[in-house]
Structure 1
Amino acid sequence: IHFPNEVIIKVHAASLNPIDLSMRSGYGATALNMKRDPLKLKAGETEFPLTLGRDVSGVVMECGLGVSYFKPGDEVWAAIPPWKQGTLSEFVVASGNEVSFKPKCLSHTEAAALPYVGLTAWSALNQVGGLNQSNCSGKRILILGASGGVGTFAVQLMKAWDAHVTAVCSHDASTLVKNLGADDVIDYKSGNLEERLKTLPLFDFILDNVGGSTEKWALDLLKKWSGATYVTLVTPFLINMDKLGVADGMLQTGVTVGSKTLKHLLKGVHYRWAFFMPSGPSLDEIAELVDSGKV
């Protein structure tokens, strides 16, 4: 423990996410290195070995002097941010505000599959998108890429908050997504997806887990001048930093998101980027949903 707000967790289960596999090839190295060492005090030191793994479920072994919410022996779960060493280890050091009590109904193995994707979806829907239990009822939500980890969690969260969910996925995953509660499930491989979605009533919110050219036509599916929002989790932020360096990468990113935000605001819809955000308090809310059987 290096700081009073940290805890040591004995790892009972951990899991990999797609970002871990990308990081093996250097994805995001420029931005993540800046986050790890913003003043470049460790310049010249090697990054290796790099420990991968974002999710952890385990037992608290030791707490810093500033941690009063947890005690040794508590069963907890967490998602460790990518700029920290990962969870494929015997022990993990995490900030207390990244940690939450594990859902009682889940084993450690089950619990280790959820925090990173859950928090990524929570960030997009709640923290960036502004959706919550009190304002979701009856809203029409479109989830593009609904069968992945983030998508399946998003479907369940939106249904727990009483929204109407249209989910887009492959035919192979349609039964899974329907069983998770989606009201309408559309196979993106069956016919022209854009034209099929245009036959449906307009949406209040779109979550894009796909990226690419999707947003060029998907933004037209939102209700205009009603506060409707499009949130994408597929952004060029880390790639820009890797290709252009810190200063130019941040400038390019700022210009891109700024111009798109203004362009679509003038057309009557909100356009936003979202990212994973570590948060113990958000995991507390997710754990409550899991223990209540809603997720």
Structure 2
Amino acid sequence: MLYPTPLLCRAAPARLLLGPGCSRWLSLSCPRQVVMPAWVINRYGQNNVLRLANNMVLPFIRLPNEVIIRVHAASLNPIDVNMRSGYGAAALNIRRDPLKIKTTGNEFPLILGRDVSGVVMECGLSVSCFKPGDEVWAAIPPWKQGTLSEFVVASGNEVSLKPKGLSHTEAAALPYVGLTAWSAMNQTGGLNQNNCAGKRILIVGASGGVGTFAIQLMKAWGAHVTAVCSQDAKSLVTKLGADDVIDYKSGDTEEQLKLLPLFDFILDNVGGSTEKWALHFLKRWSGATYVTLVTPFLLNMDRLGVADGMLQTGITMSTKAVKHLCKGVHYRWAFFTPSGIFLDEIAELVNSGKIHPVIDEVFSFSEVPKAFLKVEQGHARGKIVINVLNKI
């Protein structure tokens, strides 16, 4: 059943207020549809597959727990660049169409972008926590249409009231990286405000979006933080609260870490060869935990198919977990988890001044391809934000 909303009501011609200060005279007579601008891809590939479509049909409420948000600002994450190239398509398409009813390529045109800060325009029948006009933020799961558009639909349980002290541009920098770090450190790693005091935390890849958030979260919870990054990011991570900084470009990272006491927790944002040496720096037989955000989960399904990919992933994860448990440390994988409840907790930390957005650069809506290139090049200090409301 479709839950009607004034945005796509099939009624006589009417005047709709689509946003504060944005009145439009629209004819809603069938078969005409209300459209919006959005950055889309119609196939996977490099940056040249991105195109600005001015005729994307406005999203509408299908389920009673959904809300429509007018996007004021969005931001980019490495997953957007990877999805543009087709990474994770096998698993995400199963999530989009679990019964395989639709034809191959039905995900196109695909809108990328996960973060949103904006204003609620319409609420489903069961939404009680929000109302039209509320300023909210959210991170949209990767199997849904994204936020590089004028409007986006989100489930009510993915949305939270935006921190009052942040502009939409600032707020858009936090949801995806914040929830990813929260998932890794709190949900997977078991860290919280009551058990972090005095713990030694190592963050590898500390100057990116997740890393800069994780530093602030751990300091807010009273931990001692060691950050691994390049020399040009030292002042940034120190300002965010890092107690020790290891410059991976100035010498052997392992040799530098040997000069420091062992750690209670390691967050790995880099993967690759890092996994081979990082676990040696954990305290053994004390509950110390290594959590990595770089896993073969989606890659296995892209390469082997969904069934074989899940089997291979399970074997790999189990083998590594048992191997390291026998050595006295916990080995775990973590994944982004959409959650309005966790965003509520993050908003409290933001409102209390304990967490601040870290923004590398802000691009206009017309500069989305340029923003993708910036993310693809790597080494951004914090987040790349897109100002969607002011499209010019």
TM over 0.5: yes
Corresponding position: 1:223 with 2:283:
yes
- Give the corresponding residue for 2:34: none
1:39-188 equivalences under 5 Å are 39-44=99-104, 46-188=106-248
1:277 to 337, 359, 363: 337
Distance 1:282 1:237 in 2: 24
| Cα deviation, residue 278, structure 1 | 0.3
1:245 to 294, 297, 305: 305
Distance 1:255 1:243 in 2: 16
* Structure 2 counterpart of 1:33, one-letter code: N
Distance 1:251 1:12 in 2: 41
- Give the corresponding residue for 1:266: 326
Q: Note the aligned Cα RMSD (angstroms).
A: 0.8
Q: Which runs of 5+ in 2 are unaligned?
A: 1-60, 356-392
Q: TM-score, normalised by structure 1?
A: 0.99
| Cα deviation, residue 213, structure 1 | 1.1
| Cα deviation, residue 173, structure 1 | 0.2
| Cα deviation, residue 44, structure 1 | 4.0
- Look up the SS of the partner of 1:68 in the other structure: coil
1:191 to 251, 255, 264: 251
What is the aligned-residue identity percentage?
83
1:5-16 equivalences under 5 Å are 5-16=65-76
Query: Following TM superposition, where does structure 1 have runs of at least 4 consecutive aligned residues deviating by more than 6 angstroms?
Result: none
- Give the corresponding residue for 1:27: 87
Q: 1:44 to 1:22 in 2, by over 3 A?
A: closer
Larger radius of gyration: 2
- Look up the SS of the partner of 1:94 in the other structure: strand
| Cα deviation, residue 45, structure 1 | 5.6
Distance 2:200 2:239 in 1: 18
Distance 1:44 1:247 in 2: 18
* Structure 2 counterpart of 1:104, one-letter code: K
- Look up the SS of the partner of 2:323 in the other structure: helix
Distance 1:78 1:55 in 2: 6
* Structure 1 counterpart of 2:123, one-letter code: C
| Cα deviation, residue 216, structure 1 | 1.1
* Structure 2 counterpart of 1:140, one-letter code: R
Higher share of residues assigned strand:
2
- Give the corresponding residue for 2:55: none
Q: How many pairs does the alignment contain?
A: 295
Distance 2:125 2:101 in 1: 26
- Look up the SS of the partner of 1:100 in the other structure: strand
Corresponding position: 1:36 with 2:36:
no
